[in-house]
């Protein structure tokens, strides 16, 4: 991928930026031009502006970062690894220079019009709290995105906050963005502790820990959840010390053991002894107990005690987003579908007949521990892989990414479907049915867990 040189004073808006994308596999090179329309974000990293592709009319976001010629850009390297519905996608990138011979990296990404921060401001300006269903829709997708980046590329975002969560106001889809602070954490390797925006900074970072884990993202996501529920930040510290004070006001003074869990090298234990404030008193009286329970599981001093992003996805707080029941189970259709897909016939199990949230959660944990060769009841696919066609169900289900995967197993006039009750991610290899050659094969990465239920006729799916 080569880039044209932009001449002039390097103003942003109103300029046309042209770049040439190198052809692959014998394809000709293509020139793409962008008209920079308006600045949508600035910071120490550089600038983000909205632009329009002159060839296609597509609106994109371009992040322009001053590049040190001596180093590779970590954000670019990480974004090339990721492909997920809840992570902003990188379309391509190019370099540009100025008359001062400064080198800039331009990351061309999909454009999402709103941020969680602006959505919160909208409700605050109307003196309202965000509707609970939106809190569930948004936070579920945050954890879904985190489950992906933590397990597949193994990336820690290190700056989860409302400003870095994009929201499509039409579909309510949420996407993690700004991987400028992100890093693949390696056990035993030190990292900087002065990371993450203050209100969302995990306590182990405040205690100076350098060997932390992706659980710092879980703390940040817990702070975002609390902010969506409260309508304001839970821990609004004015500086690093005050940030710890705000946390202690709610969680109480950490014990020596908790401090050791956060930073084994920390030796100053002189803190005023303050009792924890009951979580049910932190939120208003009508707050659902499931919301309070999830917040309490995310915001723990000990990083290892915080639930993972995947565990958060199956928390009862999100039960409303699940299908309440699966329509009738057709044993004959199931038998024919298994035979056509070359699956071994297994006994009928209640976890895919009239599935209830509690049963689904328990069954999910069981299936996650089943070895791939034994997982005949579940179909595993990858998103954006083309291995199976998929489409969205009605809008409410679309927001929770409940999909129907069409197997195209036609017998007479019937078409059989497998209904996806919920999505989970697996860092290990799983089996996948490939429609192209009708053979099972192993895949790695962003796997989806599909509950197997067969139906006669498309109308019933």
CATH number of the structural domain spanning residue 169: 1.10.510.10
DSSP letter string, 293-316: HHHHHHS-SSGGGSPPHHHHHTSG
Same domain, 315 and 446: no
Query: For position 335, what pLDDT does the model report?
Result: 54
Q: Can you give the pLDDT at residue 283?
A: 95
- Where in the sequence is the domain holding 64, given as residue range(s)? 2-110
pLDDT score recorded for residue 413: 33
pLDDT at site 163: 96
Q: Is the CB of residue 333 less than 8 Å from the CB of residue 454?
A: yes
Tell me whether residue 64 is annotated as binding.
yes
List the chain residues with pLDDT less than 70: 1-14, 22-26, 44, 70, 322-461
CA distance 409 to 386: 17
Tokens, residue 285: 């009286």
| 171 plus 311 within the same structural domain | yes
Pick the last residue of a domain from 110, 129, 146.
110
Contacts of 246 (CB under 8 A, 6+ apart): 234, 235, 236, 237
Could you give the CA distance from residue 288 to residue 197 in angstroms, rounded to a whole number? 28
Rounded Cα–Cα distance for residues 239 and 179 (Å): 24
Query: Do both 287 and 363 map to the same domain?
Result: no
Those residues with Cβ within 8 angstroms of residue 89's Cβ, 6 or more apart along the chain or in another chain? 82, 83, 109, 110
Rounded CA-CA distance 13/354 in Å is: 55
141 & 260 share domain: yes
> DSSP letters along 375-420, please?
-TTEEEEETTSSSSEEEE-SHHHHHTT-EEEE----BTTB--EEE-
- 275, with CB counted inside 10 A (0-12, 13-18, 19+), is exposed
Q: What is the pLDDT of residue 22?
A: 65
Q: Is residue 159 annotated as a catalytic residue, yes or no?
A: yes
Q: Please, which contacts does 367-375 make with residues 24 or more away whose CB atoms are closer than 8 Å?
A: 367/449, 368/424, 368/426, 368/449, 372/428, 372/429, 372/430, 372/431, 372/442, 373/431, 375/430, 375/431
User: Are 66 and 209 members of one domain?
Assistant: no
So what's the pLDDT on residue 217?
98
Which DSSP helix (H) or strand (E) runs through 146?
A: helix 132-151
- The last residue of one of the domains, among 320, 336, 355, is 320
Q: Are residues 98 and 227 in the same domain?
A: no
pLDDT in tens, 337-370: 445 444 444 333 322 222 333 333 333 322 222 2
How far out from the chain centre does Cα 118 lie? 19
Element (H, E) at 154: none
Question: The tokens of 81 are what?
Answer: 């690894």
Q: Are 372 and 429 in contact (CB under 8 A)?
A: yes
229 and 172 both lie in a single domain: yes
> Dihedral angle at the C-alpha atoms of 380, 320, 200, 284, nearest 10 degrees?
-170
Whole-angstrom Cα distance, residue 316 to residue 288?
A: 11
Shared-domain flag, residues 297 and 156: yes
**Residue-level pLDDT at 46:** 82
Check residue 100 and give its pLDDT.
79
Query: Coil, strand, or helix at residue 352?
Result: helix
- The CA radius of gyration of the chain, in Å to the nearest whole number, is 24
Q: Between the CA of residue 100 and those of 65, 73, 354, 432, what are the distances in Å?
A: 15, 21, 67, 53
Q: Which of 10, 68, 83, 159 is catalytic?
A: 159
Domain count, the chain: 3
CA–CA distances in Å: residue 396 to residues 142, 173, 392: 17, 11, 10
CA distance 223 to 321: 21
Residue 280's pLDDT is 93
147 shares its domain with 95: no
């Amino acid at each position: 991928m080569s880039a044209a040189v932009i001449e002039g004073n390097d103003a942003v808006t109103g300029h046309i930026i042209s770049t040439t994308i190198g052809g692959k596999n014998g394809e000709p090179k293509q020139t793409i031009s962008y008209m920079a329309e308006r600045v949508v974000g600035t910071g120490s990293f550089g600038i983000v502006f909205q632009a329009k592709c002159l060839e296609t009319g597509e609106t994109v976001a371009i992040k322009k970062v001053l590049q040190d010629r001596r180093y590779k850009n970590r954000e670019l390297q990480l974004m090339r690894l990721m492909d997920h519905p809840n992570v902003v996608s990188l379309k391509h990138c190019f370099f540009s220079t100025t008359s001062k011979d400064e080198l800039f990296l331009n990351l061309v990404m999909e454009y999402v019009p709103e941020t969680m921060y602006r959505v919160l401001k909208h409700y605050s300006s109307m003196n309202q709290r965000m509707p609970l269903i939106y809190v569930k829709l948004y936070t579920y997708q945050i954890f879904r995105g985190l489950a992906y980046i933590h397990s597949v590329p193994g990336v820690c975002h290190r700056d989860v906050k409302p400003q870095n969560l994009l929201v499509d106001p039409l579909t309510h889809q949420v996407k993690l963005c700004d991987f400028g602070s992100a890093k693949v954490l390696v056990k035993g390797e030190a990292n900087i502790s002065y990371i993450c925006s203050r209100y969302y900074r995990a306590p182990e970072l405040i205690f100076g820990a350098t060997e932390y884990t992706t659980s710092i993202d879980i703390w940040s996501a817990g702070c975002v959840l609390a902010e969506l529920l409260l309508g304001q930040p839970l821990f609004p510290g004015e500086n690093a010390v005050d940030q710890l004070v705000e946390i202690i006001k709610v969680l109480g003074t950490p014990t020596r053991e908790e401090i050791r869990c956060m930073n084994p090298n920390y030796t100053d234990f002189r803190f005023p002894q303050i009792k924890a404030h009951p979580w049910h008193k932190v939120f208003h009286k009508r707050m659902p107990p499931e919301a309070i329970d999830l917040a309490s599981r995310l915001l723990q001093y000990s990083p290892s005690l915080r639930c993972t992003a995947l565990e958060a996805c199956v928390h009862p707080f999100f039960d409303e987003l699940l299908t309440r029941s699966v329509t009738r189970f057709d044993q004959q259709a199931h038998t024919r579908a298994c035979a056509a897909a070359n699956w071994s016939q297994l006994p009928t199990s209640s976890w895919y007949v009239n599935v209830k949230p509690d049963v689904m959660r328990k069954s999910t944990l069981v299936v996650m521990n089943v070895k791939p060769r034994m997982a005949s009841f579940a179909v595993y696919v990858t998103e954006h892989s083309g291995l199976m066609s998929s489409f969205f169900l009605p809008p409410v289900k679309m927001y929770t990414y409940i999909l129907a995967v069409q197997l195209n197993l036609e017998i007479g006039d019937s078409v059989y479907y497998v209904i996806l009750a919920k999505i989970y991610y697996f860092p290990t290899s799983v089996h996948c049915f490939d429609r192209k050659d009708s053979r099972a094969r192993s895949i790695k990465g962003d796997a989806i867990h599909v509950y197997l239920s067969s139906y006669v006729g498309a109308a019933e799916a």
